[in-house]
Amino acid sequence: MHELVRQLFPICRSITGDGVRQTLAILGAYLPELQVHEVPTGTPVLDWHVPREWNIRDGYIKNERGERVVDFRYHNLHVLGYSVPVHGWFTLEEMKPHLHSLPEQPTLIPYRTSYYTETWGFCLSQHQLSALKEPRYEVCIDSSLTEGALTYGELLLPGELAEEVLISCHICHPSLANDNLSAVAVAVFLARHLAQGGHRYSYRFVFAPGTIGAITWLSKNAEAVARIRHGLVLSLLGREGAFTYKKSRRATADVDRALALALREAAVPHHIIDFIPYGYDERQYCSPGFNLPVGCLSRTPYAQFPEYHTSADNLDLVRPGVLADSLLLVQEALAVLDANRRYQNRCPYGEPALGRRGLYGSVGGVAAQPNGQLALLWVLNLSDGQHSLLDIAERAGLPFAQIQRAVQVLIAHDLLDVLPN
């Protein structure tokens, strides 16, 4: 996963353009079934329109000696995202409104964009800004805004059911490793894991530019939207820090409960927060017209770590072990959703005689029964056709895997029937 982040890191991505295409081409080498879609500029998508396509080749500020004092080739954060082309000489005072820095973090380059307002600009460290003393500078941004397309990637892994689990992450940030290349890497390796098969649900992965990409996907995929039963937006999963799960708009959807259970069972530091209509693309999937059960999993949330949207969000910030832990947690939560079924107790009047089936301890009078036996009793008691395994695990306070094992034992002894999905 860290190697994939390293491959993707140098690419200058935005909400449209060749950087997105190059990114998806790399992802396609890991996921051969990945489909790439192009939606032309001007296409109506819900209340929006697909914007013009932006590409950039170079950008710099030169002093009168021809020296690049700010250089896009050194770091692609140096040019304000979606800057219109410009070339000419400017006085320092004329240039200053177009310069963005972080006085409180003077060594770092900020990440700034101007997607829907036509302007230009440079992002530079406060030290670089303070060093600009000459009266005039040559400014060049070699970019283009043209009639093109918005590009996104999509992968469907069919399961036993047509109903789907949606996994979404944004791919519009340039050289920022945690935001959001870490989540892209986790999503790719999650897809590779699920591609091995054995899952009930079908899994749909969407790799799209933030906001406008999710809106475009929702606009173009009404049939798929109708099949989504659970969903998860992934972001910021490579930096050390406690997990944060943001609930879906529904607040008590199965995905919200499965993530809470997985976090509880992993016994890792975490926070569970309520939905707010701000953040990543969960706010598009959870908009009231769709109201999909889609939550958002991250580690330290956006804007709450000092490297956020700066040049310090680099390859050193993202740790392989943290990526591995993030992937494992998502796998565990999805395993809960995939295995969550309802069952019917075939012997619901009184407890069945477990002892003669070899399922109960041979010595009576023990004050506390082992959890394995307790799991059997909980499954039998709540398998009334109304309660799912997730309901049982939550109420019993037992690990989901232990509840699953109890189910298999009881099925083997003809004490349970599985009900339709």
Q: What are phi and psi of 270, to 5 degrees?
A: -160, 165
| Residue-wise DSSP of 23-65 | HHHHHHHH-TT-EEEEEETT-EETTEE---EEEEEEEEEE-TT
d(CA 412, CA 252): 32
Domain ranges of the chain: 2-51+149-339, 53-146, 342-418
Give Cβ neighbours of residue 72 (< 8 Å, ≥ 6 apart): 56, 58, 59, 60, 78, 79, 141
Nearest to 207 by CA among 228, 229, 234, 240: 234
d(CA 349, CA 381): 10
User: Residue 113: which H helix or E strand, with range?
Assistant: none
Nearest to 310 by CA among 177, 416, 419: 177
Pick the CATH number of 342-418 from 1.10.10.10, 3.50.90.10, 3.40.980.10, 3.20.20.70: 1.10.10.10
Give Cα 401 to chain centroid, integer Å: 25
- Can the peptide bond before residue 371 be classed as cis, meaning omega within 30 degrees of 0? no
Q: Where are the beta strands (DSSP E) in 235-340?
A: 243-246, 270-273, 294-298
Predicted local confidence at residue 370, as pLDDT: 62
CA dist list (Å): 360 to 122, 409, 410: 72, 12, 12
Predicted local confidence at residue 420, as pLDDT: 87
CATH number assigned to the domain covering 53-146: 3.50.30.90
d(CA 260, CA 263): 5
Stretches in the chain below the pLDDT threshold 70: 361-370
| Buried residues in 320-345 as b, exposed as e (16+ CB within 10 A) | eebbebbbebbebbbbbbbbbbbbeb
| Buried residues in 32-50 as b, exposed as e (16+ CB within 10 A) | eebeebebebeeebeeeeb
- Using alpha carbons only, give the angle 189, 192, 197 rounded to the nearest 5 degrees: 140
Q: What are phi and psi of 344, to 5 degrees?
A: -120, 125
> Could you identify the residue written with the tokens 């530091």?
269
User: Residue 194: which H helix or E strand, with range?
Assistant: helix 183-194
| Protein fold of 2-51+149-339 | Aminopeptidase (3.40.630)
Predicted local confidence at residue 372, as pLDDT: 85
d(CA 338, CA 217): 24
Predicted local confidence at residue 360, as pLDDT: 78
